[in-house]
């Protein structure tokens, strides 16, 4: 079998090392620096000739910078003899710009995908990609691609460390149902999503109002675990918490795959009354209690 190594860009060097350890694949270090004018310097400090190289690079907190660095790394690896490059992108930037929503707008996800392929990536592996309008990752890439989920590991952390009473798992919107279902299975709990419901059949403004509510479950007195793929500004979670509090829930916990956490998101969620917010290290953050390394290592080994 062809020899494999793992390496990591600036966003994910520690994570790459953890993935190497978890998968028992040798780690190769990169010398990554910047010249005084801001241009990048890249050197591979190991032998990659004829090997499959797993390049770990998450695309936050400087998505454009990390993307360019990824392109330089991969092109260089191919030039110096790597036989294959597997791009491991735990957090995939630009996934939310997955279409042209207004005339003249860039379909940025398509551009990023094209560039990742054209630079010489042979395979792509990512975690809980924000695929809401595109059916599957294989519709995006021409090269082999895998989208794996870390939600079972997040839910296992909750099961092992927190004692939820009569728990229910809630997706803050219909798009999050896929993750709510997976977390619920791990916790052996019920799940539901919040959705807009017309609270009266009357059409006038006052009574024809729409409210956000759990689709079916009664949540009064229960501990609730909200699950979403990304927490960015925290707005979605805070809005969901408002609805859940009105439904009379007891304690609220939150799990997320990708803690982007901009605009004081964490503060807003804790101020809204969350007991604990748990994320992964797909993006290093103060809530990165769960590592994506075991999930990725399992996928590489397969």
Report yes or no: 97 and 129 within 8 Å, Cβ to Cβ. no
How many Å apart are CA 186 and CA 179, to the nearest integer? Answer: 11
* Region binding ligand R5P by CB under 6 A among candidate stretches 107-115, 189-197, 207-215, 234-242: 234-242
Interface stretch with ligand R5P, choices 17-25, 29-37, 100-108, 224-232 (CB under 6 A): 224-232
96 vs 130: CA distance, rounded Å: 6
Rule CB under 6 A: is residue 229 a binding residue for ligand R5P?
yes
Q: Least CB distance from residue 150 to ligand R5P, whole Å?
A: 15
Nearer to ligand R5P among residue 48 and residue 176 (C-beta)? 176
Q: Name, in order, each residue with C-beta under 8 angstroms of 267's C-beta and a sequence gap of 6 or more.
A: none
Give φ, ψ of 15 to 5 degrees. Answer: -60, -40
Decide: is 235 part of the binding site for ligand R5P (CB under 6 A).
Answer: yes
Nearest CA-CA partner of 59 in 6, 130, 5 = 130
Least separation in angstroms between residue 133's CB and ligand R5P is 10
* Binders in 162-191 for ligand R5P, by CB under 6 A: 175
How far apart are alpha carbons 93 and 70 in whole angstroms? Answer: 13
Token reading at 273: 């009354």
26 binds ligand R5P (CB under 6 A): no
| DSSP 8-state code for residue 27 | B
Q: With CB under 6 A as the contact rule, which of the stretches 138-146, 185-193, 227-235, 286-294 interacts with ligand R5P?
A: 227-235
Q: Min. distance of Cβ 147 from ligand R5P in angstroms?
A: 14
Residue 235 or 294: which CB sits closer to ligand R5P?
235
Closest CA to 25 of 8, 43, 44, 42: 8
What burial letters (b/e) apply to 44-64, b meaning 16+ CB within 10 Å? beeebeebbbbbbbbbbbebe
Q: How many residues bind ligand R5P (CB under 6 A)?
A: 12
Contact 95, 81 (CB under 8 A): no
Would you give the binding string for ligand R5P spanning residues 92-131, x where CB under 6 A is met?
Answer: ----------------------------------------
| Catalytic (active-site) positions | 196
Among 52, 147, 232, 285, binds ligand R5P (CB under 6 A): 232
Which residues are at the interface with ligand R5P (CB under 6 A)?
Answer: 132, 175, 228-236, 265
């Amino acid at each position: 079998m062809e020899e494999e190594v793992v390496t990591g860009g600036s966003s994910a060097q520690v994570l790459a090392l953890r993935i190497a350890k978890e998968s028992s694949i040798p780690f190769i270090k990169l010398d990554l620096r910047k010249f005084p004018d801001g241009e990048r310097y890249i050197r591979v400090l190991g032998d990659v000739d004829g090997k499959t190289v797993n390049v770990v690079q998450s695309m936050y907190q400087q998505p454009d910078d990390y993307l360019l660095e990824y392109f330089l790394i991969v092109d260089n690896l191919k030039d110096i003899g790597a036989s294959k490059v597997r791009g491991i992108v735990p957090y995939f930037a630009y996934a939310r710009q997955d279409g042209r929503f207004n005339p003249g707008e860039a379909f940025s996800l398509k551009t990023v995908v094209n560039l990742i392929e054209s630079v010489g990536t042979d395979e792509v592996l990512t975690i809980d990609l924000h695929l809401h309008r595109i059916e599957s990752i294989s519709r995006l890439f021409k090269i082999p691609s895998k989208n794996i989920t870390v939600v079972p590991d997040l839910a296992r952390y909750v099961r092992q460390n927190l004692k939820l009473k009569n728990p229910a798992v809630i997706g803050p919107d219909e798009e999050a149902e896929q993750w709510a279902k997976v977390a619920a299975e791990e916790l052996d709990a019920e799940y539901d999503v919040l959705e807009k419901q017309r609270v009266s059949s009357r059409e006038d403004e006052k009574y024809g109002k729409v409210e956000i509510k759990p689709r079916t479950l009664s949540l009064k007195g229960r501990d609730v675990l909200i699950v979403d793929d990304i927490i960015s500004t925290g707005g979605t979670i805070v809005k969901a918490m408002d609805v859940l509090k009105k439904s009379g829930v007891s304690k609220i916990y939150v799990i997320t795959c990708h803690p982007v956490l901009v605009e004081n998101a964490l503060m807003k969620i804790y101020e809204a009354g969350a007991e604990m917010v748990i994320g992964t290290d797909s993006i290093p953050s103060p809530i990165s209690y769960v590592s994506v390394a075991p999930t990725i290592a399992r996928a590489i080994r397969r």
